[in-house]
Amino acid sequence: MPLTKCETLAIRAEADVVLVRQAVRKLAIEQGFGLVEQTKIVTAASEIARNTLDYGGGGEAVLECHTDGIRKGLRLVFSDQGPGIKDIGQAMRDGFTTGGGLGHGLGGAKRLVEEFDIVSAPGSGTRVTLVRWK
């Protein structure tokens, strides 16, 4: 999967979540995503960026443009050094939350992308990878 463009953004404050959303939309447009695909990847990125800030204490987002033959895609990797997730299976279930939200974040983000991966353990932070293809 050849990499054609890469950008790393810090997620330290509320304004950074907005910057991540804007950067993902810009890259999605550059990759030729239609409005529905743009909306899906931006929504997923926004949710995971917010989790990175709220639950992980901040971190970073690496935004990558890829080509695979004639396909173009975005690979987004969010990472933090926060407390980690004790039970990933439970965290992925709709309705589960450790905060004040609705508990649709991780599962909702997974449904909006073609590829989703999460690596986390208590005390070792969290890394979430999202991939969406045009």
- Residue 101 in contact with residue 107, Cβ under 8 Å? no
Closest by alpha carbon to 20, among 109, 122, 103, 123? 109
Q: pLDDT tens digit string along 55-107?
A: 999 999 999 999 888 889 999 999 999 999 887 777 777 655 555 544 457 88
| Side-chain-side CA neighbours of residue 79 (13 Å) | 8
| Side-chain-side CA neighbours of residue 10 (13 Å) | 2
Quick one: tokens of 99?
Answer: 């905060």
Q: Does position 50 have pLDDT exceeding 80, yes or no? A: yes
16-20, 97-101, 111-115: the lowest-pLDDT one: 97-101
Report residue 76: phi and psi, to 5°. Answer: -120, 125
Q: pLDDT tens digit string along 24-48?
A: 999 999 999 999 999 999 999 999 9
Going from the N-terminus, what domains does the chain have, and what CATH number goes with each?
3-133 (3.30.565.10)
- Residue 126 in contact with residue 83, Cβ under 8 Å? no
- Residue 1 in contact with residue 65, Cβ under 8 Å? no
pTM assigned to the model: 0.89
